[in-house]
Amino acid sequence: MLFSLNQLFPSLNKVVFLDDDIVVQRDLSPLWEIDLEGKVNGAVETCRGEDNWVMSKRFRTYFNFSHPVIDRSLDPDECAWAYGMNVFDLEAWRKTNIRDTYHFWLKENLKAGLTLWKFGTLPPALIAFRGHVHGIDPSWHMLGLGYQESTDIESVKKAAVIHYNGQCKPWLDIAFKNLQPFWTKHVNYSNDFIRNCHILEPLYDR
């Protein structure tokens, strides 16, 4: 669906994409004013932070550079970027072949026996959006709340969007207890849908 956004919304010029494991903590309307300088995708780049686990991702993190197809096509030092909170300029997108590039690489990976990259949707998107990404300030989108417990709490509080990417989702028992309340404080535990999903209020919130 993501790679059909420009076709699904033919009357829209721009959209903000939000993943399902994020929390919005402040007004996102200023995102509309960011000059993407003709690029399609406004995203936080993940190779420029001091965090060696979450914010040090380059193409070598995702792709199998021992495979000749990848080795001759990509640069292992190229900076990666984050899904989860993205600004897409649909007008700029309509002038590209991003969708075709994405599908081409999905087919190449099938031909290679699914050995070109690790599982996930980000690797083929990294290829498809190459040259079409404009880096935005990291305070718009803070990553890694599902990866590591040592996330800086003050930075979490200040971020516009916090992202529980990783296995330790805030609705699971394995969630990091110091990071879970940023999600649980917004949950209506009496809601029928929440109850049917067996999402229970953490003991420390009671």
Reduce the DSSP state of residue 121 to 3 states and report it. Answer: coil
Instruction: Name the region of 37 (left: φ>0; alpha: ψ -120 to 50; beta: rest).
Output: left
Q: Residue 143 corresponds to which amino acid?
A: L
- Please indicate, yes or no, if residue 121 is contained in any of the structural domains: yes
Q: Which domain holds residue 39?
A: 2-139
Determine the pLDDT at residue 121.
85
- Please indicate, yes or no, if residue 87 is contained in any of the structural domains: yes
- Please indicate, yes or no, if residue 107 is contained in any of the structural domains: yes
The domain spanning residue 47 has which CATH number? 3.90.550.10
Reduce the DSSP state of residue 189 to 3 states and report it. Answer: coil
Determine the pLDDT at residue 200.
76
> Which of 186-189's residues contact partners 24+ apart within 8 Å by CB, and which partners?
186/23
- Please indicate, yes or no, if residue 10 is contained in any of the structural domains: yes
Confirm if 63 and 123 have CB atoms less than 8 A apart: yes
| Number of domains observed in the structure of the chain | 1
- Please indicate, yes or no, if residue 150 is contained in any of the structural domains: no
Determine the pLDDT at residue 204.
57
Cα–Cα distances (Å) from 146 to 6, 53, 94, 196, in that order, read 30, 12, 34, 23
- Please indicate, yes or no, if residue 202 is contained in any of the structural domains: no
Q: How far apart are CA 16 and CA 21, in angstroms?
A: 15
- Please indicate, yes or no, if residue 118 is contained in any of the structural domains: yes
Among all chains, which residue has been given the structure tokens 């197809």? 69
Spell out the alpha helix ranges (H) of 39-164.
Answer: 59-62, 68-73, 90-93, 98-111, 122-128, 153-158
Reduce the DSSP state of residue 160 to 3 states and report it. Answer: coil
pLDDT (tens place) for every residue of the chain, 206 residues total: 566 787 888 899 999 999 999 999 999 999 999 999 999 999 999 998 777 778 889 999 999 999 999 999 999 999 999 999 999 999 999 999 999 999 999 999 999 999 999 878 899 999 999 999 999 999 999 999 998 888 899 999 999 999 999 999 999 989 999 999 999 999 998 899 888 888 878 765 54
Q: How far apart are CA 164 and CA 82, in angstroms?
A: 12
How many C-beta atoms lie closer than 10 Å to residue 55's C-beta?
19
Structure tokens at 205: 């919130």
